[in-house]
Chain A
Amino acid sequence: MADPELYPADQLHEHASLATSESPASRLLLMAIAFAFLGIFLVVPLVVVFEQAFAKGIGAFLEAIREPDTISAIKLTLLVAAISVPLNLVFGIAAAWAIAKFEFRGKAFLITLIDLPFSVSPVISGLVYVLLFGATSLLGPWLKMHGIVILFAVPGIVLATIFVTFPFVARELIPLMQEQGTGDEEAALSLGANGWQTFWHVTLPNIKWGLFYGVLLCNARAMGEFGAVSVVSGHIRGQTNTMPLHVEILYNEYNAVGAFAVASVLAGLALVTLVLKTLLEMRYGAEIAATRGH
């Protein structure tokens, strides 16, 4: 085919698998393996979570959810996500923009830095903040003097979450922006657009799907982060417990229904994002394929 871009994106997939088609038997086998694997490692545990949550009836479930400490944990989790996701959205775009569209010294180093949260254990990320802001640290006395509380309080939890979830948006955008290059931006500038108009009308529409995936992943992780948050939170019930931490506490207290009820809410939030993503993909599939380029 001479130029695949001449055809609407949704017709392309028909041509894709002709050359590499497998025999029917091996295709079945591959699919069976994939489904069995997903079933055992993902679906079954998820079902168990919901089953345990409702083990003693819907009344017990609702009671566990309405517990003040649980409500506070849910609120805190949503608050942390609401702060850290938008910040990482902005940081992620800025970092990806700098890396993809400019040449400068230390670029490789910056890329490594962005990956750091992925390669470092979350517990260590948390400990870094303890070392930075703890009572015995350099900053500790100064913070205390000015009455600023970071550790074992919401600011610490937000900072740790931002750190851990930083790579998601940037990682999603860098390859996309690198592939798209600077041509469209130069075209917009040559037509008289200023920097902001260029970003808003040209860059953002080109990256919006990548950005959307990045934000979804970032959000899922921000709500689910355990290790780093656990170190800086202090586990104060009703104050600094996020949902994952609260699940652990309830579980350690042998409160199975409570633990699984909160866990099911957390899992439910994740499922909502997943469904949202799938719906949007169904609705805008052709457009997504087009902006990702062929």
Chain B
Amino acid sequence: MDVRVANVRKEFDRFPALRDVSLDIKSGELIALLGPSGSGKTTLLRLIAGLERPTRGTIYFGDEDASNKTIQERNVGFVFQHYALFRHMTVADNIGFGLKVRPSNKRPTKAEIRARASELLDLVQLSGLEKRYPAQLSGGQRQRVALARAMAIEPRVLLLDEPFGALDAQVRRELRRWLREIHDATGHTTVFVTHDQEEALELADRVVVMSQGRIEQVGTADEVYDHPNSPFVYGFIGESSSLPVKIEDGQVWIADRPIGLSTPNVPNGEATLYFRPHHVELLDECNGCIAGTVAASRRVAGTRRVELEIGGGRERVEIELPVGHPATQKSRVTFRPNRWKVFPKVVE
């Protein structure tokens, strides 16, 4: 089921949690909403589900306008952040709930519901736990039950709010791979919320980066990582260093000298240079480069990271050096970014 969010705004007591958000979700896609806490991810997910109504804008399911449909009519599977399992029901009853409450002409028989529940338990690899109560399950097991329960109603769209947020790192990684497998096996259109970029980049077909109620960028993991289109995305996804620079006639200047980077499309004036710590080229002699002195150094797995003071200590950037590089404290290092981007300073 294609889902289209068109110019949606959502206010809570005048506070805009979402401002003019538009997003196309393709049928069968696994998409991640990624952003810091409070950026509006849950709100967007709840709007798609029908748990909230947009203040403005429209939500389409396929070609039909679903904005005014109730959550029951939308037929979505929603996995809540804290699972919201029914604690007085067994695992099997939890999973069968959505079938049991169907109107009598569409309701499967008890035996069919039971069979469907154990089929889904197989799928989420929990067979044999039918009779347990939620309180007798581990966090990861509850998460799987919640997903099985949401899938039991054969939803048109599957929505998951921070599905692994409450689990420890080891279980998270396992479930992540497992969710991808389930998605590939069942082909549900799936949207999940996360504030963990590693999770989003590894799992999703496309990542929607959100900040302060807006969508900053939509793209594959490669696109948002390699071609961030805003300072926010540069800073939020992966590691990045930034330096205040000046643009003059398409040349990037730091203080009073050009550093050998040209950017013809950026207008003259103040701007900020962004690059990743490992996208640098070390230079021996400097005619047009960035020069700094080592202020701190640390070992990160197979590489070494140094913090450089630029321009007499006013700015600091981090770059990556080969482990064997001779630079020590106070050494002078000269380099030039080989992949980078300049964003003009936004006038507030």
CB within 8 Å of B: which A185-230 residues = 186-194, 197, 201-202, 205-206
B138's nearest neighbour on chain A, judged by CB, is A6
CB within 8 Å of A: which B65-84 residues = 70-72, 75-78, 80, 82, 84
* Contact B97–A193 (Cβ < 8 Å): yes
* Contact A190–B139 (Cβ < 8 Å): no
* Contact B76–A8 (Cβ < 8 Å): no
Residues in chain A near residue B152, CB distance under 8 A: 191
Instruction: State how many angstroms separate the Cβ of B205 from the closest Cβ of chain A.
Output: 24
* Contact B86–A192 (Cβ < 8 Å): no
Known A-B contacts A3-B139, A8-B135, A8-B136; A191 and B98 likewise in contact (beta carbons under 8 Å): yes
Residues in chain A near residue B286, CB distance under 8 A: none
CA distance A8 to B82 in the complex (A): 19
A62 proximal to B (CB < 8 A): no
Name B149's contact: one of A186, A191, A206 (CB within 8 Å).
A191
A281 proximal to B (CB < 8 A): no
* Contact A188–B97 (Cβ < 8 Å): yes
Name A291's contact: one of B70, B72, B87, B149 (CB within 8 Å).
B87
9 A-B pairs with least C-beta separation: A191-B98, A187-B84, A183-B84, A193-B101, A190-B78, A205-B88, A197-B101, A192-B72, A189-B71
* Contact B82–A189 (Cβ < 8 Å): no
Residues in chain B near residue A206, CB distance under 8 A: 87-88
Chain A residues within 8 Å of chain B by Cβ, number? 24
A179 proximal to B (CB < 8 A): no
Known: A191-B98, A192-B75. 7 other contacts (CB 8 A): A3-B138, A6-B136, A184-B84, A188-B97, A188-B101, A191-B152, A197-B101
A249 proximal to B (CB < 8 A): no
Name A190's contact: one of B51, B82, B137 (CB within 8 Å).
B51
Name B135's contact: one of A9, A193, A202 (CB within 8 Å).
A9
CA distance A287 to B137 in the complex (A): 16
A14 proximal to B (CB < 8 A): no
A293's nearest neighbour on chain B, judged by CB, is B87
Q: Mark B135-177, 1 if CB is under 8 A from A, else 0.
A: 1111100000000011011000000000000000000000000
B139's nearest neighbour on chain A, judged by CB, is A3
CA distance A197 to B49 in the complex (A): 19
* Contact B80–A183 (Cβ < 8 Å): yes
Residues of B within 8 A of A (CB): 49, 51, 70-72, 75-78, 80, 82, 84-88, 97-98, 101-102, 133, 135-139, 149-150, 152-153
Name B86's contact: one of A6, A187, A189, A190 (CB within 8 Å).
A187
Residues in chain B near residue A193, CB distance under 8 A: 72, 97-98, 101
* Contact B86–A186 (Cβ < 8 Å): no
CB within 8 Å of B: which A68-111 residues = none
Instruction: State how many angstroms separate the Cβ of B106 from the closest Cβ of chain A.
Output: 10
* A186, A194, A197: residue with the most chain B Cβ atoms closer than 10 Å: A186
A208's nearest neighbour on chain B, judged by CB, is B88
Could you tell me the dominant secondary structure of chain A's interface residues? helix
CA distance A188 to B82 in the complex (A): 14
CA distance A6 to B134 in the complex (A): 9
* Contact A186–B101 (Cβ < 8 Å): no
Residues of A within 8 A of B (CB): 3, 5-6, 8-9, 183-184, 186-194, 197, 201-202, 205-206, 287, 290-291
Instruction: State how many angstroms separate the Cβ of A208 from the closest Cβ of chain B.
Output: 9
* Contact A184–B72 (Cβ < 8 Å): no
A4's nearest neighbour on chain B, judged by CB, is B135
Known A-B contacts A192-B98, A194-B101; A186 and B84 likewise in contact (beta carbons under 8 Å): yes
Instruction: State how many angstroms separate the Cβ of A164 from the closest Cβ of chain B.
Output: 33
Instruction: State how many angstroms separate the Cβ of A286 from the closest Cβ of chain B.
Output: 9
Residues in chain B near residue A184, CB distance under 8 A: 84, 86
CA distance A206 to B134 in the complex (A): 14
CA distance A201 to B101 in the complex (A): 9
Residues in chain A near residue B78, CB distance under 8 A: 186-187, 190
CA distance A5 to B82 in the complex (A): 13
B101's nearest neighbour on chain A, judged by CB, is A193
Instruction: State how many angstroms separate the Cβ of B263 from the closest Cβ of chain A.
Output: 49
* Contact A194–B72 (Cβ < 8 Å): yes
Residues in chain B near residue A202, CB distance under 8 A: 86
* Contact A183–B86 (Cβ < 8 Å): no
Residues in chain B near residue A183, CB distance under 8 A: 80, 82, 84
- 10 of the cross-chain contacts (CB-CB < 8 Å) are A3-B138, A183-B80, A187-B80, A189-B70, A191-B97, A191-B101, A191-B152, A192-B101, A205-B86, A291-B88
CA distance A187 to B84 in the complex (A): 6
Known A-B contacts A183-B80, A202-B86; A191 and B135 likewise in contact (beta carbons under 8 Å): no
A205's nearest neighbour on chain B, judged by CB, is B88
Instruction: State how many angstroms separate the Cβ of B172 from the closest Cβ of chain A.
Output: 15
Residues in chain A near residue B51, CB distance under 8 A: 186, 189-190
CA distance A189 to B49 in the complex (A): 11
CA distance A193 to B102 in the complex (A): 7
Residues in chain A near residue B77, CB distance under 8 A: 190
Known A-B contacts A5-B135, A8-B135; A192 and B153 likewise in contact (beta carbons under 8 Å): yes
CA distance A215 to B102 in the complex (A): 32
Residues in chain A near residue B149, CB distance under 8 A: 187, 191
CA distance A191 to B84 in the complex (A): 12
Known A-B contacts A183-B82, A197-B101; A190 and B135 likewise in contact (beta carbons under 8 Å): no
Instruction: State how many angstroms separate the Cβ of A109 from the closest Cβ of chain B.
Output: 19
Instruction: State how many angstroms separate the Cβ of A4 from the closest Cβ of chain B.
Output: 10
Instruction: State how many angstroms separate the Cβ of B97 from the closest Cβ of chain A.
Output: 5
* Contact A191–B80 (Cβ < 8 Å): no
Residues in chain A near residue B82, CB distance under 8 A: 183
A3's nearest neighbour on chain B, judged by CB, is B139
Instruction: State how many angstroms separate the Cβ of B89 from the closest Cβ of chain A.
Output: 8
CA distance A287 to B84 in the complex (A): 17
Known A-B contacts A186-B84, A202-B86, A206-B87; A290 and B72 likewise in contact (beta carbons under 8 Å): no
